[in-house]
Amino acid sequence: VQRICKYPLLLKELAKYSDDADCTRAQAALAAMKGVAEAVNEDKRRLEDLELIDAWQNTVENWAGPNLRDTSRHLIHDGTVVKFSLSKSNAASSHERSLFLFDNVLIYCKRVGKAKGARRPRSFI
């Protein structure tokens, strides 16, 4: 896979030093290899995104939803919000919640098990 990304550079150099007939063929090969290299890079990026989704889903305790890998391809943004509530006796309370925006779903979670000194929690419910 790493060599595929080097082929366009080699073909570009070959085209630079070729005569007209060979230059045309080298440029056609260059265009084809650029497309292949872009496809390989895009597939690698997609696989990395799916691995991140799998890793994130594994941090959620008692996940009951569909497999996120089947419904989403990319985590767009995540952040913390504060939920304010009033009880029946009008007592106000606030609770931190985490929101995760994927390309096809928004997930609302509660943090649990924050590791000592860690910025992020160990898992969500």
Position 43 scores a pLDDT of 92
Query: Which one-letter amino acid corresponds to residue 11?
Result: L
- Is pLDDT at 116 greater than 90 in this prediction? no
Do 16 and 28 contact (CB within 8 A), yes or no? no
Q: At what angle do helices 2-16 and 20-58 cross, to 10 degrees?
A: 160
Count the helix, strand and coil residues of the chain and give each as a percent rounded to the nearest 5: 45, 30, 25
Do 17 and 9 contact (CB within 8 A), yes or no? no
pLDDT digits (tens, 9 = 90+) for 55-112: 889 888 888 888 998 989 889 999 999 999 998 888 999 999 999 999 999 999 888 7
The 8-class DSSP code of residue 17 comes to T
pLDDT digits (tens, 9 = 90+) for 2-54: 788 888 888 988 888 888 888 889 899 999 999 998 999 999 999 999 999 99
Position 15 scores a pLDDT of 87
Look-up of token digits 């089947």:
70
Do 9 and 26 contact (CB within 8 A), yes or no? no
